[in-house]
Structure 1
Amino acid sequence: MNYQLNYDLIFSEYYFGRLVGGIQTTIVLFVLVLSLGLVLAIILVALRSSPFKPLRWLVAAFIEYQRNVPLLVHLLVWYFGIAAVLPKPVSDFANQHGGEFFYGAVTLTLYGGAFISEELRGGLRAIPRAQYETARSLGLSGLQALRLVIVPQAVRNALPPVVSQALSLYKNTSVTAAIGVAEIMYRAREISTETFRVFEAFSIATLVYFTGSMVVLAAGSLLARQMHIPGRERQ
């Protein structure tokens, strides 16, 4: 029996509404974890630059743990393990306000923040120490040297790999379907099970991820052009 494509059922008001809801959840989750991940990454870079060695070692161990353990394992540890040992008020609050989304967001934030922090640190390390010393010799304070000379260059250096990490983070939102976060992959699987229109449901999910990825890359390219210094060769 030949399989014939038919999107009519998928695009009915009931199922299409659920797909739209899944897309909205995916976008909200991505924007949230990217924003929090960037903040966490900056904090990790600052802590790893601390003169206090035990703190640097602790931060380095956290980053290596996040980077070298599969994302799905992190997700299951948070959802089934850490959630069980959290204080009851915290656990109750999370469960009453979408526990799956909460634990999925925490997992992706920690995971993405660790990767992004290494890209930011690499951008900083690529700047010669002499530039900081030169800025100081010109009369800039330490904070001014960082803000006006070092950080802008570090951001430019780190932008391409950070955009790549943002793209990975967007695609990794699909992993949260494993714990029941109702994003687009979860909805596609749910609809395919109910309607038996497997190809149709997952082809729409594929299109959503592809379109979103192109948007992230376009945003990164636009940002790179805005930050480009005239006369300097683009990387």
Structure 2
Amino acid sequence: MTAVVSFKSATDAYLASDTAHLNIDGTISHFAPKVFAMAQQNLVFATQGFSRASEVILQYLEFDHGTARQARWLEALPAALLRARECIRSHHPEREGSVLNEIHVWLALFCEREKRPKLLTMTTSRMDYLPDLPPYQLAEHEGLVAPAVDVSALLPADWRGTPEEAASTVLEAQRRGTAPWGAHVHIVGGEGHLWGVSEHGLESAIVIKWPEKAGQRCDPSLQGRPQMRAAA
């Protein structure tokens, strides 16, 4: 499971996530980035659901569309997502019908055609918080977070912080949420990575760090330390 924070300004689209990859029992198996950068297409994306979904999507798109322009890459995304969904079904047939076998893709990009930042999403099944979005169709949105938290309470209308502060604040709040498969499984840990996409390209930063180690569980009682330096 992946925590996702997406928002935008007049010039940039932002996508943030953590780096803790979990075992099904809620312990941390390892740490690795969950946001993937496609510099050629001037976009970044993250997936929620099956842990290998991003890898399968990347393999499919890199093989046939790695150097494609942004619009062609996006046109190929539904087929890549379907490939990833078929991979899940073959690896975990016992989980069919559960949220564990579904995938949600989140994208932040600077649109080549429209010359503006955009946030897009696509899923393999209908989501409770996006009930009107058909599976395998890209939809634009103005900013969403998942797992859901009350962003208006965290970042009120008169809030004047930086994008880095916004991402770290929401990610910290998401640590208190639990996984859909376990009421006592918390899913946010490791580092919080923020990516920004503008007409000038991609930028990234580590915005927060949490103390858990591999083999431990994410513990929301332990607050993270804000960080303001470039991500590796």
Q: TM-score, normalised by structure 1?
A: 0.26
Higher strand proportion, which one? 2
Q: TM-score, normalised by structure 2?
A: 0.26
Higher helix proportion, which one? 1
Decide which structure has the larger Cα Rg and report it: 1
